Amino acid sequence: MDQLISRIILCAGSDSDHHLILVICASLFPGPSSLPVRSNLNPLLKCLLSVISPIILVGPYLFIIFASPSDNAPALKQIVSSYLILDCSTRKNLKILYVLHPSFWSKLTMQVFLNGIVSWKMANTIRWINTLSELTNHVQINQISIPPKVYKFNLRLEPTIKVPSSRSIQTTVFETDLYILIGTNGHQGLLVVLLDSTSCMRQTGLNSEGIFRRPPSSTTLRIVREAYNRGHPVNPTTCTFKFKHQHKITQFKFSSWIRGCKH
């Protein structure tokens, strides 16, 4: 259960006002076969929120729900209903609840549920966010571990993630002059993309046959490249950014960087 919790709910530091940022990802909820015996989503949701309750009790916080559609994702109303079980002293510290990728029906049912039945104050804290570009206007997304499923769904809505100039970080690592990346004498050290690639190759790729023969999907490679260029932490071995055949992604990410590097 602890392993499931660490995958689904994440602490993403704090915003400019020193409000703690908590993220819950609906698309990472497990299927019934992955849950412990006699468990279902409701107890899991309550367990998730009880774990973070001591953390959010001490001060103001932001909550971000990645509501991107997924086969095993609980309904948004189900997540919020579990949250409302927490005691009032914990809930009053919530400043804003961001909901990314809400569907029309989830917005409609939530508005009826909160405004008409539960709490209009809670309803006033919700901000409906359609795309990751829109989310960047409110929080620094390069400090949030965004799962691949969320990225892939976002690509249906916008071709690229546009970060406001006030929040952008110049970290472009693909198709950039080498001396800009590491300095004229290499004094800036090795790039994160190289360190991540070599580490993953040593862990998972050395005994794999034909790792350079079959590339992963172009969409997956694009997600990884853009994440590095935004300064987003990407580690294929972590549970929040784990792809199938991650060693192949690592090798083609490495070769893609080599080909695009301007010597």
β-pairing, 20-25 vs 9-14, is antiparallel
16 located within any domain: yes
Assess whether 224 and 138 both reside in one domain: no
Whether the CB-CB separation of 100 and 55 falls below 8 Å is answered with no
Q: What is the pLDDT of residues 212-255, one digit of tens each?
A: 666 666 777 777 777 777 666 665 544 444 444 454 455 555 55
Residue 6 in this model has a pLDDT that exceeds 60:
yes
Q: Mark whether 131 and 243 lie in a shared domain.
A: no
Residues 63 and 21 both lie in one domain: yes
Instruction: Choose the final residue of a domain: 146, 167, 191.
Output: 146
Q: pLDDT at position 41, please?
A: 57
What number is the average pLDDT over the span 10-36?
79
Q: Which domain holds residue 245?
A: 178-260
| Residue 243: per-residue pLDDT | 47
Asked whether residue 92 falls in the same domain as residue 202, the answer is no
Residue 134 confidence (pLDDT) above 90: yes
- What is the value of pTM for the model shown? 0.70
Residue 132 sits in the same domain as residue 227: no
Tell me the two tokens of residue 71.
């086969």
Do the domain assignments include residue 80?
yes
Residue 203 DSSP symbol: I
Tell me the pLDDT of the chain averaged across its residues.
Answer: 74
Instruction: Give the residue with greater pLDDT, 24 vs 204.
Output: 24
72 falls within a domain: yes
Looking at the 3D structure of the chain, how many domains does it have?
Answer: 2
Residue 152 in any domain: the answer is no
Mean pLDDT of 149-178: 74
Residues 189 and 119 in one domain: no
Note the pLDDT of residue 128.
Answer: 94
What pLDDT, on a 0 to 100 scale, did the predictor assign at position 101? 94
Residue 158 lies in a domain: no
Residues 115, 60, single domain; the answer is yes
Within this chain, do residues 10 and 125 fall inside the same structural domain, yes or no? yes
**Top mean-pLDDT range of 76-90, 160-174, 202-216:** 76-90
Query: How many beta carbons lie within 10 A of that of residue 81, not counting itself?
Result: 16
Nearest CA to 65 among 49, 53, 50?
Answer: 49
CA distance 239 to 27: 13
- Compute the distance between CA of residue 236 and CA of residue 123 in angstroms, rounded to an integer: 37
Minimum mean pLDDT among 15-29, 93-107, 150-164, 202-216: which range?
202-216
Q: 187 and 140 in one domain? A: no
The pLDDT confidence band at residue 130, using thresholds 50, 70 and 90, is very high
